[in-house]
Structure 1
Amino acid sequence: MRTFLATLLVAISGALILWLSTDGGRAFTAEEARRLEIRENPRSVPDWQLENQDAEAFRFQDWRGHFVVVDFIYTSCPSVCLILSGNLKTLQKDFSVEGKLDNLRFISISFDPEKDTPQRLKEHLSHFSADFKNWIAARPTSASQKESILDFFKVIVIPDEYGGYTHSAGFHIINPEGKLVAIFGMEQLDELRAYLNQVLEDKDNASKN
């Protein structure tokens, strides 16, 4: 009987921890909980100053008034970053054809700024046929700034034994008011496209009224 009660108590405790850590059962992973929290509680993005692929200063404030899609990369990445950039290339093409690119911007932020010089960032964008007016790559200007940015966006970056990184991957949406309002996983390209179509349509309709 005592063993049964102990087992039952452990099971109840585990269920309670799971319930609390998954936001009442609505999210079953930390990443899903993060996405849900941002949807419900948008956060103002600090106006960091970065260095872009032309070795020029870029501030998040520069793109106020647009929807901005942010991803995190390092240019020597052999896998995940290529998929992220490939998806942005697809979105750039799709929204350009639809005539919606004026209200949309992309920024790829390097978390390996020591190696990712402006020249390497430019080469990376060129490989994906980026329109530099609408899609830039940038790097933090200090180690403390890099950590601040990664912490704000909750991006996990872990150096591996090969000189590269294991890292989380996704697309972070900043609205025209400068708030982080949504996060989509690398595998959610269709959902991301649908979301952007909707918010861009809403923005266009609002401007006409």
Structure 2
Amino acid sequence: MKWMKIGLLIVAGLLITACTSQEDIEQSFPMSMEVEEFSAVNQDGEAVTLEDIEGDIWIADFIFTNCDTVCLPMTANMSQLQKKLKDSGLEKEVKLISFSIDPEHDTPEALTEYSQRYDADLNQWSFLTGYSQEEIELFANRSFNTPAAKAEGSNQFVHGTSFYLVSENGTVLKQYEGVSDPPFEEIISDIKKLN
């Protein structure tokens, strides 16, 4: 009888712990938006869809290679995040995805050249293009609740400057500052909570 009570207490303790950690996870991740299906090509010209990265945690952002303002520090910061993920032993757990919002100009060749400026490890980090302007604008708006539109009378684009944490099942969980002082340690801590 005594062992049965001890067993019940252990089971009850495990259940309480499970509930608490689930609650902690929900508090850590305030967003919950499903990423829509997409069809793209990466810097190597290889097809990439949402299904291809299903099962991976990923960090996404929106950039374009002719950007003369925020994309430069954003991409430098993503490169720094990639190094920090490696230092934390998480490089195999997490993909980095940069969606170009200028698919007409950003060919796979242009994206390859751009990625080399930032020492991107393309085994982990993909630069995507190959969709229409309208498709990427709708995708950014609907899947990430962020703007992506060509600035009138300019070769520049209006777009969000956040990094987005996406779960293995394609749910956007959280966004972080991507331009000035990204919270690298918070991002890594959040990724660990999902492992």
Match of 1:198 among 179, 189, 193: 189
1:138: which partner in 2? Answer: 128
* Distance in 2, Cα, partners of 1:195 & 1:95: 12
Cα drift, residue 47 of structure 1: 2.3
The DSSP-based 3-state class of the residue aligned with 1:50 is strand
For the 8 Å contact 1:45–1:178, the answer to whether it is kept is yes
Q: TM-score, normalised by structure 2?
A: 0.76
Q: TM-score, normalised by structure 1?
A: 0.72
1:125: which partner in 2? Answer: 115
The DSSP-based 3-state class of the residue aligned with 1:101 is coil
2:100 aligned with 1:110: yes
Q: Deviations over 1:77-124 (max 9, x none)?
A: 122101110001001111112211111111111111001111001111
Q: CA, structure 1 residues 123+145, in 2 after alignment: closer, same or farther (shift >3 Å)?
A: same
Cα drift, residue 155 of structure 1: 2.4
Q: CA, structure 1 residues 162+145, in 2 after alignment: closer, same or farther (shift >3 Å)?
A: closer
Cα drift, residue 51 of structure 1: 1.2
2:165: which partner in 1? Answer: 173
Structure with the larger helix share: 1
For the 8 Å contact 2:67–2:156, the answer to whether it is kept is yes
* Distance in 2, Cα, partners of 1:107 & 1:185: 16
The DSSP-based 3-state class of the residue aligned with 1:145 is helix
| Amino acid across the alignment from 1:197 | I
For the 8 Å contact 2:60–2:99, the answer to whether it is kept is yes
